Amino acid sequence: MTTEREVEQPGELATSQPTAPEHQGTTAEQRARLKTELQRARLKADLLEQMEPGEYRDRTIRLVERSKNPYSPLTKSWAKKVIAERKAAATKSLGEEEKLTTLPQDRSEPAGLIRDSPQSSAVEQPGTSAGRNGDSPTANQPGDGFPLPMAEEAFHGIAGRVCSILEEQNETCREALLAQVIVGFGNLVGQGPRTVEENFLNEFVLIVGDTSSARKGTSLRYALDHLRRIDLDWGRAVRACPPSGEGIVWHLRDARELKGGKVDPGITEKRSFFRAEEFSRIMASIASGGTLSQRLRECWDHHNPLENLTKIDPIRASDTHISLVAHCTPFEFAQCVRTAEQRNGFINRFLIVAARGVKAVPRPKPIDWAAHPEIVRELREIVNKFQKTTKIGFTNRAAAAWDRWYVGYRQQKLGFTVAYAEMVGRCEGHVKRLAATYAVLDDKKTIDEVHLNAAWAFWRYCADSVTWAFPDTKDRANVPIHAPAEARIASTILDALKASPNQYADSLTDFPGVG
């Protein structure tokens, strides 16, 4: 039986309190589920009564429907905020009506986000924010599932300043610009800075957006133009992603002696920024067999040396530092990400960033970086300073915050579904690399709270992007990661059937709802 004390009250949101029915003979799990559904129904009824019909109410109700605990502080504070905003909006003059069409910029807290209090340690499952609309009615239509705008904390420091300049001549959203600037700088600075655990600053990012309208390629060109001005030699490191694992080693090979006394001088520039504006080509190469997936995973892990140990012509590549920026459409992403690549850790080495156009720039102009000499000078000094091996640690406050978040997140992962857990399986590694990158951009050798805040805000957007770009992760009611082995095996078989329905057409009749 669910007592009155067990059911949390919705506080100011509640206008009526239905009585919970008796459920004799039910299990504790069933009673908990019934309690949650009752809470959800109560809160939805309150919202429908107190809020005007429209986008804000729909957005808040989606939060209630997706939240595991409808009466959590997050849900209640969001609902209160939206109701207050709607009441305030009703008092505004008609002359300001156009401003009211813009969605609120405040958003739910990123997982583990630190605010003013060092005691804050609440951890929320990344990627489960309810509202998923964007930052303008033109760019993100209500109900399309697109992530909320990235929190301002992510635009910390000089990276945010660079993005502000790039935004002037770019139609794409600022999240895509920031991701490519961050990943580009992590490659530009080289393998000097690293965390104590040997996490380097090289990252992989996959920008997912509609063809043409998201302006993914244009945003990359603007970001690269800026980075090339910091280090002219780095321009040689920017190249298309090779179609094979052997090609990666070849383009970064060491000097070697050939037959007949000839000498191959090799490649002196060991930094490599791979660009793959057609991610489907990478996935097609992987699907056809070969070592590309394995080699790219080694590159993200910063394995050195990379080797092609053939009998006749062995090749070795030492001290490599490889980053990758790839682009694709949502449809391509869903089609190309095979079960094997999802399961083997290839995709979760990418930061998934949703992108779309947010404005019209009919005639974009090149950025005049001569008008911003302080930014170029600061970045050049930072790159020169961190050429030597530098261990990036934590301040005491940041270390305590990281420990709290890490322990809580590891526990929370046990409740993730298999598909979602595999897509975000390297959250901890990504967050630590991002935090170290923000620290280096601040010319610091230690990660502080502000850098963790920035990294968490960045990751939260990536986690939201996963559920938007990969629909299989939206179903959070399927097999959890800690389920018995039999259930996980059944889920794996079912995924294989879904991925190749034609190959297993005769078997689909045994699996209702598949096909």
The proportion of the chain whose per-residue pLDDT surpasses 90, expressed as a percent, equals: 40
| Local confidence band at 248 (pLDDT 50, 70, 90 cut-offs) | very high
Q: Which of 78, 84, 208 is nearest to 147 (CA)?
A: 208
Asked if 161 and 375 count as a contact pair (C-beta separation under 8 A), the reply is: yes
Q: Is 223 left (phi over 0), alpha (psi -120 to 50) or beta?
A: alpha
Q: Which of 464, 502, 422, 396 is nearest to 131 (CA)?
A: 464
In this prediction, residue 416 carries a pLDDT of 82
In this prediction, residue 499 carries a pLDDT of 58
Q: Which of 175, 248, 247 is nearest to 206 (CA)?
A: 175
| Local confidence band at 392 (pLDDT 50, 70, 90 cut-offs) | very high
| Local confidence band at 484 (pLDDT 50, 70, 90 cut-offs) | low
Asked if 422 and 479 count as a contact pair (C-beta separation under 8 A), the reply is: no
Distance CA 207, CA 225 (A): 18
Distance CA 306, CA 429 (A): 21
In this prediction, residue 253 carries a pLDDT of 94
Per-residue pLDDT reduced to its tens digit, 260-279: 888 999 999 999 999 998 89
b/e sequence 422-434, b meaning 16+ C-beta within 10 Å: bbbbbbbbbbbbb
Per-residue pLDDT reduced to its tens digit, 335-387: 777 656 666 789 999 999 999 888 888 888 888 888 999 999 999 999 999 99
Looking up tokens 């063809």 gives 211
Q: Per DSSP, which regions of 319-456 are E strands?
A: 321-328, 350-354, 390-394, 446-447
CATH of 152-472, one of 3.40.50.920, 3.30.1550.10, 3.40.1360.10, 3.40.50.300: 3.40.50.300
Which tops the pLDDT comparison, 164 or 343?
164
User: pTM value?
Assistant: 0.68
Looking up tokens 């970086």 gives 369
Distance CA 163, CA 436 (A): 19
For the chain, the distance separating the N- and C-terminal CA atoms, rounded to the nearest angstrom, is 41
Which tops the pLDDT comparison, 483 or 369?
369
3-class DSSP state for residue 451? helix
Cα→Cα distances 129→124, 141, 180, 308, Å: 9, 17, 24, 44
b/e sequence 10-45, b meaning 16+ C-beta within 10 Å: beebeeeeeebeeeeeeeeeeeeeebbebbbebbbb
For the chain, what is the mean pLDDT? 76
Per-residue pLDDT reduced to its tens digit, 76-131: 565 566 556 655 655 554 344 333 333 333 333 444 444 333 333 333 334 333 33
CA atoms within 13 A on the CB side of 296: 30
Distance CA 330, CA 472 (A): 13
Residue 468 in this model has a pLDDT that exceeds 70: yes
Find the mean pLDDT for residues 402-429. Answer: 87
Find the mean pLDDT for residues 325-343. Answer: 77
Asked if 42 and 10 count as a contact pair (C-beta separation under 8 A), the reply is: yes
In this prediction, residue 176 carries a pLDDT of 93
In this prediction, residue 124 carries a pLDDT of 39
**Kind and range of the H or E element at 256?**
strand 256-257
Residue 326 in this model has a pLDDT that exceeds 90: yes
Which tops the pLDDT comparison, 280 or 462?
462
Distance CA 13, CA 75 (A): 11
Of the listed ranges 36-50, 397-411, 483-497, the one predicted with least confidence? 483-497
Q: Is 226 left (phi over 0), alpha (psi -120 to 50) or beta?
A: alpha
Ranked by mean pLDDT, which of 11-15, 437-441, 489-493 comes out on top?
A: 437-441
Which tops the pLDDT comparison, 89 or 317?
317
The string of DSSP codes covering 125-192 is: -TT--S----SSTTTS-TTS-PPPPPPGGGG-HHHHHHHHHHHTT--B-HHHHHHHHHHHHHHHTTTS
Distance CA 436, CA 458 (A): 13
Q: Residues spanned by CATH 3.40.50.300 within the chain?
A: 152-472
Which tops the pLDDT comparison, 436 or 470?
436
In this prediction, residue 66 carries a pLDDT of 66
In this prediction, residue 165 carries a pLDDT of 93
In this prediction, residue 80 carries a pLDDT of 62
The encoded tokens of residue 410 equal 């590891």
Asked if 256 and 316 count as a contact pair (C-beta separation under 8 A), the reply is: yes
How is residue 257 annotated by DSSP? E
| Local confidence band at 310 (pLDDT 50, 70, 90 cut-offs) | confident
b/e sequence 486-504, b meaning 16+ C-beta within 10 Å: eeeeebeebbebebeeeeb
